[in-house]
Copies of this chain bind each other. A is one copy, B any other.
Amino acid sequence: MYNFYELIEEHVKWISEIGADPTGGTTRLLYDENWRQAQAELKEKFEALDLVTQFDEIGNLYGKLEGTKYPNETILTGSHVDTVVNGGKLDGQFGIIASYLAVKFLKEKYGAPLRNLEVISMAEEEGSRFPYAFWGSKNIWGLADKNDVIDATDANGVKFVDAMMDSGFKFKNDLAPTRDDIKAFVEIHIEQGSVLEKTGKQVGIVNSIVGQKRYSITLSGESNHAGTTPMGFRKDTVYAMSKMISEATDKAYEQGDPLVLTFGHVDVQPNTVNVVPGQVTFSMDCRHTDAKVLKEFTEEIETLFAEIAKKHGVEIIMDNWMDESPVPMSKEIVGTLEEACKEANLNYTVMHSGAGHDSQIFAVHVPTAMIFVPSIDGISHNPAENTRTEDLVEGLEALIASLYKLAYEEK
């Protein structure tokens, strides 16, 4: 009899200790010592399960249970093995553990599938050691340009290339063809938000990953003495910024879900109690699952900000430095997952993801969907990141039921 509860707790404990730091968090960065150890120990586990196990050139780890009927069709499942600095015990790695436990259970209960069932422990997703994210998944799809990392160094000055070579890996051959056997990719991940928790659901089937636009907005007015400058003589950038943030956020509420709008970073100059602030730079992060709505909403905000700046006599520069399109998941795979959850009588809902994941790289190339489990208080990227084990079990059961349908059933 399988005790998923104990198995999950045991495996989460095991992997989060590889790179455990004194604060109770885990730091396991691309190609570092902890990363090498985690990948090596995962490889041993895959081999012990008699999976066909291998690393690709850059360090993604695969463990394949071969299919009996469709050897050229693969159902892939997994997530990323790297963490942020001082990260939690679930982000990324729970997806690898759940995928491994799911394949183990399915193999031991049902034997070989019709299609290959393959677990992947991806090298990197967070961009937390070098300034490059999705190194693992982008390499799989021929999207990683070596020129983007060749001069990169980490916080200690170690070069990306040296770190990679020291781990025994190298750049992928640009001319090598990408895989054409992957018929579906399913990634299970913590939500990193509180929608499931607040709505009392244990499983989220992700049907879309939001697009995001990020701006850096600079207002230039005049720094003046706070006592001797009458209100009518001022070009106060914090006042103008306040109008912008206040009115734009009001509009975001009017627009409604799934739009989110965040002004998380503010830098005032000279930032002194008794000086009218002459310059401010602030960030704007806007996300939506619909590219058209995202575009129209941000255009409306850009117009609004230009009007407010003009009215307040301040100069405005709006630098839209990130513009990522929303990525819809595969309707077919989402449908399969829904069916699996329904049949298994699981406590699920269909939702979008407000954060980026490896699945957004896969979804452009192969039918992809994600499964979310709740995050307590929505906390992530932090040692306090946590999920009730019963919710992790519910997620694992959803993954098992989904992989069974995808790899063991004729369709």
Contact = CB atoms under 8 A, between A and B. Distances in A.
B378 A260 contact: no
Q: Which of the listed residues A214, A253, A283 has the most CB atoms from chain B within 10 Å of its own CB?
A: A283
Q: Which of the listed residues A225, A261, A354 has the most CB atoms from chain B within 10 Å of its own CB?
A: A225
A207 to B, nearest CB: 15
A353 B229 CA distance: 10
Interface string A256-270: 111111111111101
A345 interface: no
SS class, residues of chain A in contact with chain B:
mixed
A249 B239 contact: yes
Nearest to A253: B231
Contact of A246 (B246, B263, B271): B246
A251 B257 CA distance: 33
B264 A274 contact: yes
A218 interface: no
B258 A195 contact: no
Given A242-B249, A264-B238, A265-B272, A257 B231 contact: yes
A260 B229 contact: yes
A32 interface: no
A230 to B, nearest CB: 5
B225 A193 contact: yes
Given A243-B246, A249-B236, A249-B239, A231 B272 contact: no
15 contacts: A192-B228, A194-B233, A195-B233, A212-B227, A214-B273, A226-B287, A230-B260, A231-B260, A232-B257, A242-B263, A246-B246, A265-B268, A266-B266, A266-B271, A267-B271
Nearest to A286: B226
Interface in A261-299: 261-268, 270-277, 280, 283, 285, 287
A245 interface: yes
Nearest to A283: B273
B258 A230 contact: yes
B262 A276 contact: yes
A344 interface: no
A224 interface: yes
Contacts of A271: 264-267
A264 B274 CA distance: 6
Contact of A230 (B195, B230, B243, B355): B195
Given A246-B246, A260-B227, A264-B274, A198 B233 contact: yes
